[in-house]
Amino acid sequence: MGYMPHLKIYTTNFCSYCDRAKAILKSKGITDYEEMNIAGREGMREEIARLTGGRWDVPQVFIDGAYIGDDDALADLAHSGELERMFGMNENSSGNGKGNVDRRDVLIIGSGPAGLAAALYAARAQLNTLVLTGKEIGGQLSLTLDIENYPGFKDGHAGNLIQDMQEQAKRFGAAIEMGYVTEVDFSQRPFRIKTYGSEIEAQSVIVATGSSPRKLEIPGELDYVGRGVSYCATCDGFFFKDKEVVVVGGGDAAVEEGLFLTRFAKTVTIIHRRDRLRANPSIQARALDNPKMKFLWDTVVTAVLGNDKGAYGVRLKDVKTGAEREFKTDGVFIFVGHLPNTTLFEGKLQMDDKGYLIADKRQHTDVEGVFAAGDVQDHVYRQAITAAGTGAAAAIEAERFLAEMAGKAQPAAV
């Protein structure tokens, strides 16, 4: 065997972006690499900042000591074929799907509550089912720590709920693979789907790609991502031990992530455009009772301030008086809503003016045999339990569709 580059990846616990990076490596057959989990390790903030030129987030990837970047940078390498070239692989050895097509009855794109519920129902109906996890295993649940309102789940730990749902779907035969879809062709059946490492033909598809954090779109925000600006407290909170941070937003996600940050930060200041929180009352009560949490009401962030060392503050505006001022902070965590993950389906499936997939009451899209479930088609409720319900419905409809196409008996209505 010839020379193999040394790949090192810095990760932490409960980090969906770290899982995505490792999934990309696995899809290319790269399993022999060094993983450095930074959780609980002193001095890692300074080390990673030194190695990356000032970033304070994970994952971070290095090949033969050269800095590659985060999971998005690794995905770009994989998509371009450069990763295979760096590791001396030809295209076929990397498993990119040429001449090796995976055929399925049901392909589920996404692994949040909608995708995993769909997997359970489809597999239990004895359909050959594959789940491609996407960026985050567990969807938005992977970016939070606690869940208090999922019926029958008293544990409260979101990660455990995700794990339980995966195991239940697997028990009935569903395959769950770390994979990221790069292209879909819904023009004819079987539908053709490409990932970084494979090509799949599916008789039916359930789209459960969920949503991603909305950005503020203000000056300085993107300039300091990974250098003080973050959209994931569970991923990056470790870097702000004994620091002062702000959380922008007033909903469930903002307050829950703020509470998580109190495990590390000296103070957590919630900045909200209204005079009261929008979060669930029980979550509000915990936040208001936490001595580390402070609140700035009727205030918006108009810019992130920083220098070559990273973000050092934000510019604030009082929405009632119009007065502006600077506010010093070591970190800016942004939780101001979500955008549906539908870019992949532009021109393929019908969407509304906000980019959400349009599905009927039975989860059918405008393409026969393609169904939508979860937050990707729901901008109203956006709850784990409602997402799971639409996932189950989509799987039942997929079963009906496949039975009709095959001329078999359809599942009875319940």
* Of 26, 21, 29, 46, residue with least CA distance to 243: 46
Q: Record the tokens describing residue 401, joined without a space.
A: 């569709």
Contact 46, 104 (CB under 8 A): no
**Residue whose C-alpha is closest to residue 248's, from 264, 263, 233:** 233
> In Å, what is the CA distance from 20 to each residue of 35, 80, 263?
14, 17, 25
Task: Answer yes or no: 235 catalytic.
Answer: yes
- Compute φ and ψ for 24, nearest 5 degrees: -65, -45
Amino acid at 373: A
- Specify the 3-state DSSP secondary structure of 202: strand
Q: How many residues does the chain have?
A: 414
For residue 8, which amino acid is it?
K
Instruction: Choose the catalytic residue: 232, 252, 375, 378.
Output: 232
Q: CA-CA distance, 26 to 263, in Å (whole number)?
A: 33
Verify whether residue 232 is a known catalytic residue: yes
Residue 62 belongs to what H/E stretch?
strand 60-63
Alpha-helix residue ranges (DSSP H) falling in 203-324: 233-236, 252-261, 281-289
- Of 101, 10, 97, the closest CA to residue 50 belongs to 10
Catalytic residue among 236, 252, 330, 375: 236
Q: What 8-state DSSP symbol labels residue 306? A: E
Structure tokens at 73: 């940078």
Give Cα 188 to chain centroid, integer Å: 29
d(CA 253, CA 382): 12
Q: Is 18 a catalytic residue?
A: no
* Annotated catalytic residue within 15, 18, 105, 235: 235
Strands 181-185 and 60-63: what pairing? unpaired
- What's the CA gap between 148 and 9, in Å, rounded? 33
- Annotated catalytic residues are 232, 235-236
